[in-house]
Chains A and B, each alone.
Chain A
Amino acid sequence: MIRQFGWNEFLFLLEGARWTVVLSLLAFTVGGALGLTVALGRTSKWKPLRILMATYIQIFQGTPLLIQLFFVYFGLPLLGFKVDVWVALTIGLSLHTSAFLGEIWRGSIQAVPDGQSEAARALGIGYMHRMVDVVLPQAFRIGLPATISFLVNLIKGTALAALLGLTELTRSGQLMANITFQPLQVYGAVALIYFFICVPLTYCSARIERRLNAAR
């Protein structure tokens, strides 16, 4: 007797969706912290650091996420770390996130008018306070829509975890499709779950962007 795709099977997919969300949030948090460092390095006065960060960003933007994940997954054990798939994916997705958010935030930092940091410098405010209290809050506003769009991309990117064998939403879909032999319904349902996770964020991002544009 082959199982039919019904309510219980749908709940199984939702179970998988939980890990999709957890993985996305984890990568977004860690990647965000790293990304801020990348953005600050990319806008620093010190040229070698700028070049280094530009190269870092270029590497991640010029290679497929799948290859980055494979690279971390197979590379870390060579350095002597025993990694489980969760750790490898978190590291891989975080590095990916840091490069993309770094580039987005670099743009936002540079979009803050020069007069702002010049005024802060004229008042004798040091780099740390100039950034934290003057530039970054304004940059945050400018970069918010793009950051949320990237979060949507990241959530979609976690689907690749399925190819490394982590049972998140897409992998749950694969398993369920194999059990029920109803791939059309199962992948349709998987797509819908992703859709309902991502759409509110996309909507938010579009709204904030419209409001920022109206303000200008």
Chain B
Amino acid sequence: MNYTFDFAPVFAAWPTLLEGVIGTLRMSSISMVFGLSLGIVFMMMRMSKLPALRTIAISYIELIRNTPILVQVFFVFFGMPAIGVRLSGEQAAILAMTLNCAAYAAEIVRGGVQSIRPGQIEAGRALGMHSTDIYRFIVFRPAIRAVYPALCSQFILLMLNSSLVSSVSAEELTYFAQTLDAQTFRSFEIYLTLGVIYLVLSQFVSVALGIIGRVYFSYPAK
């Protein structure tokens, strides 16, 4: 092996990489929030009494969960202009990641909602609680709390998957790294550094989500 490692050009480009980190966190956090919200809508459709709504939700969820996110990104970015919707790389990336996250979130949250025993809801009704309150405090919040760890790993996966939206020139970490690669030809050093950055990022997101969870679900348990 006669290769001299040279990390200098990589470290010299730290402002660009930082911009990339911010881009990655921005796009993935927006997709997480929208994805979870849309996922809850799909979950409610999935559990609705109307067969039509259920069918739509099941088809959507299964279609998304059984196709690669890269194809979904391509479909949104290259396919949508054909029906008159022209999106920038970043918009397409966020839309595709949101749609992707929604399907997974719907299934995860459904697991949580199904774990709520009917007796709980009956107790709420017996206490004369309003049905929206029952849904909010008795079904929804404990359900999310029960599946929060699974949601967190899904969010981390989403953050890692955001690396492939560089292929539609959305300006996140991998995109800047590839630009840097084209300028310096220090591929190995760049991707090694990139791996370390993603590793730190995933730990960071994990800790951050843990703190959010502890604050949001801090009410007495059981």
Report A's interface with B, CB cutoff 8 A. Answer: 58-59, 61-68, 70-71, 74-75, 78-80, 152, 156-160, 162-163, 170, 173-174, 177, 182-184, 187-188, 190-191, 194-195, 198-199, 202
Cβ contact within 8 Å between B74 and A74: no
Q: Is the interface of B mostly helix, strand, loop or mixed?
A: helix
6 closest cross-chain pairs (CB), A and B: A159-B68, A74-B187, A183-B78, A64-B163, A198-B66, A184-B79
Number of interface residues of B (CB under 8 A): 37
Closest to B80 in A: A184
Cβ contact within 8 Å between A194 and B66: yes
Supplied contacts A156-B67, A191-B67, 12 more A-B pairs, CB within 8 Å: A62-B160, A62-B202, A64-B174, A65-B160, A67-B174, A71-B191, A74-B191, A78-B1, A170-B70, A173-B74, A183-B82, A199-B62
CA distance A194 to B74 in the complex (A): 14
Cβ contact within 8 Å between A173 and B71: yes
A71 and B195 contact, Cβ closer than 8 Å, known pairs A66-B163, A177-B78: yes
Cβ contact within 8 Å between B75 and A68: no
Report B's interface with A, CB cutoff 8 A. Answer: 1, 3, 62-63, 65-72, 74-75, 78-83, 160-164, 167, 174, 187-188, 191-192, 194-195, 198-199, 202-203
Cβ contact within 8 Å between B198 and A182: no
Cβ contact within 8 Å between B174 and A66: yes
Closest to B66 in A: A198
Chain B neighbourhood of A67, CB < 8 A: 163, 174, 191, 194-195, 198
Chain B neighbourhood of A191, CB < 8 A: 63, 67, 71-72, 75
Cβ contact within 8 Å between B188 and A75: yes
Taking the closest CB of chain A, its distance from the CB of B199, in whole angstroms, is 4
Taking the closest CB of chain B, its distance from the CB of A201, in whole angstroms, is 9
Closest to B202 in A: A62
CA distance A59 to B192 in the complex (A): 12
Closest to A192 in B: B67
Closest to B192 in A: A71
Taking the closest CB of chain A, its distance from the CB of B173, in whole angstroms, is 9
Taking the closest CB of chain A, its distance from the CB of B93, in whole angstroms, is 14
Cβ contact within 8 Å between A75 and B191: yes
Taking the closest CB of chain A, its distance from the CB of B99, in whole angstroms, is 12
Cβ contact within 8 Å between B198 and A63: yes
Cβ contact within 8 Å between A66 and B66: no
Closest to B205 in A: A62
Cβ contact within 8 Å between B74 and A183: yes
8 contacts between A and B (CB under 8 A): A62-B160, A62-B199, A63-B195, A70-B187, A157-B68, A170-B70, A191-B63, A191-B71
Chain B neighbourhood of A62, CB < 8 A: 160, 198-199, 202-203
Closest to B78 in A: A183
Taking the closest CB of chain A, its distance from the CB of B196, in whole angstroms, is 8
CA distance A58 to B63 in the complex (A): 29
CA distance A65 to B191 in the complex (A): 12
Chain A neighbourhood of B1, CB < 8 A: 78-80
